[in-house]
Amino acid sequence: MTKKRKHTRAEQTLWVFAVLAVFLAVAVLNYNQKTSRRVNEEIHATLESYAQQQADHVRTVLSGQFDSLGAFASYLGQAGMEDTETFLNAADAIRQTQEFYRITMADLDGNGMTNEGIQRNIKNLKEFQAAVKGEQTISEPFISSIEDGYLCVLLAVPIKNPQGEITGVLCGSYTAEQFGTLFLHDNFERNDASVLINGQGDVIVASKDEEMVVGDKSLENIYEKTKNEAFLDGHSVEDMEQAAKNQEKLVSLIQEGEQEYYVTQTPFGYNGWTLLSAMKRGEVDSSYAFVRTYAARLNLAFAVSFLLGFLLIFYLFRTERKALRAQTQKLLEEKEKLEVSEERFRLLARDSDVLVFELNNLDHTLEFNENFEKILGIKPDYQSFLDGKWVYPDDVTAFSRILPQFSSKKGVMTRNIRFCNFAGVYIWFSVLTSIFADDRGRVVRILGKMMNIDENMREKEALRLRAETDSMTGLYNKMATEELVTHALRKYKGSVCALLIVDMDNLKRINDTLGHTQGDRAIVRFADALQRTFRSTDIVGRIGGDEFMVFLINVQSSHQLILILDAIVKKWDSLYTGEKDDYPVHGSIGAVMTNGSENFHELYRRADTALYKAKRSGKGGYALYAPETEEKE
């Protein structure tokens, strides 16, 4: 019987090493594949983010323009479309603030007038027809019928009367140059080409010779042009068309001649349009070259380690194992540093006028760029920054959510926060932070950038106030007053409040005797007297031509309410209008106190009942609601 040869220790060690080498080779190959796939995913995500930011920027601007047109349309619906002088004056003001080239008001038959007083009929415009149905629409570029050579883009919104009925259409138009400038923004100064197309692939806006051109019919259809180009990632022209049809995002890798491009499709949000952004592959891939370099170095380290291990495996096995562990830890630390450096570079490269900071949670240090001192005039330290020393008090909670003590994992967070500058003025910033954690989940660094959005936030607040304010008196309008009172009834349900309906006496006589100018003057003085009588926490609004509403919060007793009503009536003793201020102005008041169970409409009915009693008792006085004041059928 032949005896089986016993393997030597060297042979056993070699077999173990061979198995280990195969295992490591498979692991490195798997790592390379996953790294390549992750890099491609990051590239796609970055490109989609860039394109989405540009689309969001343009949509935000257009949304603001639609809001302005809507507010103007609401004003015209309240004032009446027949008042052309009001339209012409207000249209000029809107053009100066919102950069419209022309504004047109038209009735339901399409007969309209421009802000220059030009009469025209726009019934055949599909945007007009859509607006009549209650839609907000935007047109593709077309030649205006008013003057040759005027290539324009039209925005249209419906005009509604106080009953909510559509009575006409309000249009605002851009010139092609104005519309093109919406796509030019400092935040998007990259080496890419942007194209806005419709559902058929026709170009609406395109970057050409470092400028934005609009409505250039000579530009080739994007889908026809792309049919002659090679797709390197398995996509096709049909995929692009389908993504545009479904309003989905898509990133394609296309070769045109010797050059390769990443083409990103992003739904634009209007009319089924799509925004295309093309960037050279080399410029995009260069941002991730360090990852591939790292993988190549890792492969080289593996090969060297395999050779050294083959020569010294028996003698240095234990030592090499310990050294490899130390090397792996060092590589992980270097990788983390590379990630932090890459994130810092990305934040700095995208914007040159933003405030950038880095919080080191391990060393308790804070680093920031020179814009902190240049823009805010401050030099924060680590602890004062964490304490929110320069943060607006109402924003401290939101600010604390982006700090190390409240963050527990990697990710990106965005908050809108007000910071105080050296002059004591609070400025709105959009604060974006990237959070880095170690392998145990501890937050080690937070990188952040702060972008000034103060003008945009204040414009939004101004638009909101204009939508809620009565244009003549500066008080809340009817809709805003009713909403605020309804909200206050819920908020102060456990408190005693009071609702006042105040009606001016003899406004019709003032208008007939002294003229509408003096009538308007009387309304303004009457409203001013009301506003100065009450606290800033009370709600004062104009709900009709000569009718006002006041909601008093936390009224202690009916005696206190009577004192307040006496004070109002007394103020009317010194209120006059007319050329010589010799015509008295006063009103009548109906008041009701809450008991915690009424809704707005019931409370209004009771106050109106009390007002009726006050007017029957003689003008210039007031009456409090009581159940016995109800008239019996």
> The dihedral of CA 229, 234, 236, 242: what is its sign?
negative
How far is the C-alpha of 124 from the C-alpha of 139, rounded, in Å?
13
Structure tokens at 349: 């490269």
Question: In 3D, which of 580, 469, 474, 577 has the Cα closest to residue 520?
Answer: 577
Structure tokens at 172: 């605002």
Question: In 3D, which of 186, 177, 129, 118 has the Cα closest to residue 151?
Answer: 177
Whether 46 contacts 250, CB under 8 Å: no
Question: In 3D, which of 535, 532, 571 has the Cα closest to residue 553?
Answer: 535
Amino acid at 136: Q
Instruction: List, in sequence order, every residue forming a beta bridge with 253; answer none if it has no partner.
Output: 262
* Burial class of 599 by CB neighbour count within 10 A (0 to 12, 13 to 18, 19+): exposed
CA–CA–CA angle 92, 93, 95 (5° rounding): 65
How far is the C-alpha of 459 from the C-alpha of 467, rounded, in Å?
12
Contacts of 174 by beta carbon, 8 Å cutoff, 6+ apart:
99, 100, 101, 152, 153, 155
Quickly list DSSP for 529-541.
Answer: HHHHHS-TTSEEE
How far is the C-alpha of 179 from the C-alpha of 216, rounded, in Å?
13
Quickly list DSSP for 257-269.
Answer: TTEEEEEEEEE-S
How far is the C-alpha of 324 from the C-alpha of 329, rounded, in Å?
9
Q: What DSSP element (H or E) covers 23? A: helix 9-79
Residues designated as active site: 546
Question: In 3D, which of 50, 294, 94 has the Cα closest to residue 190?
Answer: 50
> The dihedral of CA 233, 236, 241, 242: what is its sign?
negative
Distance set, CA 162 to CA 158, 476, 480, 508, 542 (Å): 13, 15, 13, 21, 14
Q: What DSSP element (H or E) covers 206? A: strand 203-208
Amino acid at 415: R
